[in-house]
Structures are given as structure tokens and as C-alpha cells.
Amino acid sequence: MEFDRTTGKISASKRDWEFLRRVAALKAQTPVPALGLWRQNDDEFLWRKIVSQVYNRGGIGWFAALKKKGLQDTFDASVSAAKLRTFSSEAACKDYVLRQMESFHVGRFREDNARSVVANLASFVDASGHLSQLRKQLDELDCTAEPIGPKVQAREREARKSMMGCLVFYQKGKKHYAKRKPPSDFLINIGFARTLIPFDSRMKSVFEGMFAVKVSEETNYELIENFFLSEVYPALHISPSEFDRIVFHHYKKLVP
């Protein structure tokens, strides 16, 4: 792929399109979250999807291990929003979350992640125990019934930008707010977004290895999303979010 810095557009080579067609051929074999999931599920569903962004830092092997042991539901219940709201202080809540992560062998960076979970509880869950503000915004920006296009993308990006100002991570004891990847993943997982791409390490390696493109939060993240929406989707009928899920599920098949 090549960038035209004057127009801010991307062009793809014949080799790039060959790879994209290989990806598109796997669409029927790839599970993608159904649209509207956030409307069909309760607040604990949203909470689980939020904190999974925290636990998944550094890899998702813990999730597969818990699922194999039949312990996923038990862990989720132990760190539900309802349970965490019973603690009288943030320190007590943080220590409890840390013990649960250690007991269930969940994720890496556990000290920081425990702080992150507590911070996100305060950020998203209101005094009544609901995620009312998040739901209100999702409902207001909901465009799942509309055909994919620039208008839909603009609203999804507005939701992503709002999430970036709320979703908290601690790293080496310091508080940070999310960049584009975690909110993009969250919005796809709850059945809200179709035009966003979560550029995790796996996706970045695909772009570097297959397209010779280094993904940058500052310079080309949204330009790449634009390219997939305006060029790839009309040609191959895979949305940006579908492209992400296909690469995730078939990475070893697609990348030498």
C-alpha cells in the first residue's frame, strides 16, 4: 500500500488486492458479533466487555484457559459490577480484584489491571449501579439500521472518541486513557460498530508484513479505515470490522 500525502489517500497494489481477496474468501467461516447486542443484553454484559479490554492487555490466552476449565462464568460473576460496588473503598475493591485475577490466572500486569478495573467502575457505573450514560450515548449514535457509509463511520468515530475519554488503563502505576484500539474493539464486540478497525499487535503485524505499512495512531490509523470503507468494502463486501475478525480468527492461515 502507498500513501499520497497530498490527498491523504491510500492506493493498493495488485499483490495487496490478492491478499484482500484471500481474506474475503474466509468471511463465511468467521463469527462476527451480531448488531445491536448492547440493546439485547443487560449492564453486566457491557461491563464484561469493558473490563475485558483491561484483562486482554498482553494476550488473551487466559480467556481460552478459563473457558476450557469451565470457569469463565465464575470469574465474571466474581468481578461483576454489582459485586464490586459492595466494597466500601477503592483500595479494598482493588485488592479484591487483584486476588480474583491471581486466583483465576487472568491476564498480565495484574497490579495495574486491578487499578484499571476500579477506575473504570467509577468511570462507567453510576450511583444506581447502571451504565446509563454509556447506554444513552450508544442509543443516540446508533446507526446499525443504516447502510455502511461515511455518515455511519462518523457516528461510530464519535462513540469511539467518547470512549477514549472514559476508558482507563494504568501502566506502571500511572493512569492513562485509551487510544483508538480498545474502544474500537469494544464497540465491535457489543454489536455497535462496523467501520472501525482495532489495530492490536496482530493486526499491525499483518499490515507491516503483508502491506509494508507501519500503522500509526497519529498519521494513518483513520486513513486506513477510510480506505477499507471506500475501496475494500464496495469491491469485496467485507466491512472494516469483518476484516478485523477474519484476520483474528484465521491469522495463521493468512500470514506465512
* Amino acid type, 179: K
Q: Contacts by 102-108 with C-beta closer than 8 Å and gap 24+? A: 104/62, 104/66, 104/71, 104/74, 104/75, 104/78, 105/62, 105/65, 105/66, 106/55, 106/62, 106/66, 106/75, 107/54, 107/55, 107/56, 107/57, 107/58, 107/59, 107/62, 108/57, 108/58, 108/59
Whole-prediction pTM: 0.93
| pLDDT digit string (tens) for the chain, length 256 residues | 887 766 777 888 999 999 999 999 999 999 999 999 999 999 999 999 999 999 999 888 899 999 999 999 999 999 999 999 999 999 999 999 999 999 999 999 999 999 999 999 999 999 999 999 999 999 999 999 999 999 999 999 999 999 999 999 999 999 999 999 999 999 999 999 999 999 988 899 899 988 988 998 888 899 999 999 999 999 999 999 999 999 999 998 888 7
pLDDT of residue 5: 65
CA nearest 85: which of 115, 125, 49? 125
